[in-house]
Structure 1
Amino acid sequence: MPTLHRKRLPVAIGAVVALVTIPVTLTAQAQVPPPPSGWSLAWSDDFTGPANTLPSSQNWIIDLGHGYPGGPANWGTGEIQNYTDSTQNLALDGAGNLRITPRRDSAGNWTSARIETQRSDFRPPSGGVMAIEGRIQMPNVTGQAALGYWPAFWALGAPYRGDYWNWPGIGEFDVMENVNGLNTVWGVLHCGVAPGGPCNEFSGLGGSRACPGATCQSAFHTYRFEWDTSVSPNQLRWYVDGQEYHRVTQSQMDATSWANMTNHAGYFILLNVAMGGAFPDGVQGSPTPTAATVPGHPMVVDYVAVYTRGGGTQPPTTTPPPGDGGSAYSTIQAESFQQQSGVEVETTSDTGGGQNIGWLANGDWALYRGVDFGSTPARQFSARVASGAGGGVSGLVEVRLDSRTSAPIGSFAVGNTGGWQSWRTIPANIGGVTGVHDVYLTFTSGQPADFVNVNWFTFAR
Structure 2
Amino acid sequence: MTNGVLTTGVLVTGALAAAALVTLPVTMRAQATPQAPAAGWTQVFADDFDGGAGSRVDPAKWQYTTGTSYPGGPARFGTGEIETMTDSTRNVALDGSGHLRITPQRDAGGQWTSGRIETVRTDFQPPANGTLRVESRIQMPNVTGEAAKGYWPAFWALGAPFRGNWWNWPGIGELDIMENVQGLNNVWSTVHCGTSPGGPCNETTGIGGQRACPDTACQAGFHTYALEWDRGVSPNQLRFSVDNVTYHTVRQDQVDATTWKNATDHGFFVILNVAMGGGFPDAFGGGPTAATQPGVPMVVDYVHVLSRGGGTPPTTPTTPPNSGKRDAYGRIEAETADTLTGLATEPSADAGGGQNLAKAKNGQWALYRNVDFGATAARQFTGRVASGATGGVSGLVEVRLDHATAAPIGSFAIAGTGGWQSWKTVPANIAGVAGKHDVYLTFTSGQPAPFVSLNWFTFGH
Per the alignment, in what secondary structure is the counterpart of residue 426 of structure 2? strand
Structure 1 residues 6, 190: CA separation in 2 closer, same or farther (over 3 Å shift)? closer
Q: C-alpha separation between the residues in 2 aligned to 1:180 and 1:151?
A: 9
Q: C-alpha separation between the residues in 2 aligned to 1:225 and 1:195?
A: 25
Determine if the alignment matches structure 1 residue 366 to structure 2 residue 373.
no
Per the alignment, in what secondary structure is the counterpart of residue 45 of structure 2? strand
Per the alignment, in what secondary structure is the counterpart of residue 120 of structure 1? coil
TM-score, length-scaled by structure 2? 0.78
Determine if the alignment matches structure 1 residue 62 to structure 2 residue 59.
no
Per the alignment, in what secondary structure is the counterpart of residue 362 of structure 2? strand
Structure 1 residues 77, 420: CA separation in 2 closer, same or farther (over 3 Å shift)? farther
Q: Aligned-pair distance for 1:356?
A: 3.4
Q: Aligned-pair distance for 1:380?
A: 8.8
Q: Aligned-pair distance for 1:128?
A: 0.4
Residue 119 of structure 1 is aligned with which of 101, 107, 121?
121
Q: C-alpha separation between the residues in 2 aligned to 1:188 and 1:218?
A: 23
**Residue in structure 2 matched with residue 357 of structure 1 by the alignment:** 360
The answer (yes or no) to whether the contact 2:230–2:238 under 8 Å persists in 1 is: yes
Aligned amino acid, residue 298 of structure 2:
M
Q: C-alpha separation between the residues in 1 aligned to 2:135 and 2:443?
A: 41
Q: C-alpha separation between the residues in 1 aligned to 2:380 and 2:195?
A: 44
Q: C-alpha separation between the residues in 2 aligned to 1:235 and 1:255?
A: 14
Per the alignment, in what secondary structure is the counterpart of residue 283 of structure 1? coil
Q: Aligned-pair distance for 1:293?
A: 0.6
Determine if the alignment matches structure 1 residue 145 to structure 2 residue 147.
yes
Query: Size of the alignment, in residue pairs?
Result: 417
Q: Aligned-pair distance for 1:69?
A: 0.4
Q: C-alpha separation between the residues in 1 aligned to 2:317 and 2:358?
A: 20
Q: C-alpha separation between the residues in 2 aligned to 1:421 and 1:279?
A: 52
The answer (yes or no) to whether the contact 2:156–2:271 under 8 Å persists in 1 is: yes
CA deviation string 1:47-98 (max 9, x = no partner): 1111111100000010000000010000000000000010000000011000
**Residue in structure 1 matched with residue 313 of structure 2 by the alignment:** 315
Determine if the alignment matches structure 1 residue 222 to structure 2 residue 224.
yes
Aligned amino acid, residue 184 of structure 1:
N
CA deviation string 1:120-167 (max 9, x = no partner): 000001100000000000000000000100000000000001111111
Q: Aligned-pair distance for 1:454?
A: 5.7
1:10-21 to 2 correspondences below 5 Å = 10-11=12-13
Q: C-alpha separation between the residues in 2 aligned to 1:255 and 1:383?
A: 35
**Residue in structure 1 matched with residue 276 of structure 2 by the alignment:** 275
Give the root-mean-square deviation of aligned CA atoms: 4.3
**Residue in structure 2 matched with residue 390 of structure 1 by the alignment:** none
The answer (yes or no) to whether the contact 1:160–1:170 under 8 Å persists in 2 is: yes
The answer (yes or no) to whether the contact 1:382–1:459 under 8 Å persists in 2 is: yes
TM-score, length-scaled by structure 1? 0.78
Q: C-alpha separation between the residues in 2 aligned to 1:172 and 1:6?
A: 9
Aligned amino acid, residue 71 of structure 1:
G
Q: C-alpha separation between the residues in 1 aligned to 2:137 and 2:396?
A: 51
Aligned amino acid, residue 359 of structure 2:
N
**Residue in structure 1 matched with residue 161 of structure 2 by the alignment:** 159
CA deviation string 1:353-379 (max 9, x = no partner): 97333435xxx96324799xxxxxxx9
Q: C-alpha separation between the residues in 2 aligned to 1:37 and 1:351?
A: 28
**Residue in structure 2 matched with residue 18 of structure 1 by the alignment:** none
Q: Aligned-pair distance for 1:291?
A: 1.2
Residue 410 of structure 2 is aligned with which of 399, 409, 413?
413
Per the alignment, in what secondary structure is the counterpart of residue 270 of structure 1? strand
Structure 1 residues 278, 33: CA separation in 2 closer, same or farther (over 3 Å shift)? same
Q: C-alpha separation between the residues in 1 aligned to 2:61 and 2:396?
A: 37
Q: C-alpha separation between the residues in 1 aligned to 2:225 and 2:358?
A: 32
Q: C-alpha separation between the residues in 2 aligned to 1:41 and 1:6?
A: 31
The answer (yes or no) to whether the contact 1:209–1:245 under 8 Å persists in 2 is: yes
Q: Aligned-pair distance for 1:459?
A: 4.5
**Residue in structure 2 matched with residue 288 of structure 1 by the alignment:** 287
Q: C-alpha separation between the residues in 2 aligned to 1:272 and 1:136?
A: 12
Q: C-alpha separation between the residues in 2 aligned to 1:365 and 1:79?
A: 30
Q: Aligned-pair distance for 1:347?
A: 11
Q: Aligned-pair distance for 1:412?
A: 7.0
Q: Aligned-pair distance for 1:419?
A: 8.3
1:381-400 to 2 correspondences below 5 Å = 382-384=382-384, 397=399
Aligned amino acid, residue 268 of structure 2:
Y
CA deviation string 1:227-250 (max 9, x = no partner): 001111111101101111111111
Per the alignment, in what secondary structure is the counterpart of residue 93 of structure 2? strand
**Residue in structure 2 matched with residue 19 of structure 1 by the alignment:** none
Aligned amino acid, residue 49 of structure 1:
G
CA deviation string 1:316-361 (max 9, x = no partner): 3135445468999778346x74425xx555999x99897333435x
Extract unaligned runs of 5+ from structure 1.
14-25, 372-378, 388-392, 406-410
The answer (yes or no) to whether the contact 1:394–1:413 under 8 Å persists in 2 is: no
Aligned amino acid, residue 33 of structure 2:
Q
Q: Aligned-pair distance for 1:416?
A: 4.7
**Residue in structure 2 matched with residue 374 of structure 1 by the alignment:** none
Q: Between the two proteins, what is the percent identity of the paired residues?
A: 51
**Residue in structure 2 matched with residue 201 of structure 1 by the alignment:** 203
Structure 1 residues 27, 37: CA separation in 2 closer, same or farther (over 3 Å shift)? closer
Aligned amino acid, residue 455 of structure 1:
S
Residue 252 of structure 1 is aligned with which of 238, 251, 254?
254
Structure 1 residues 48, 195: CA separation in 2 closer, same or farther (over 3 Å shift)? same
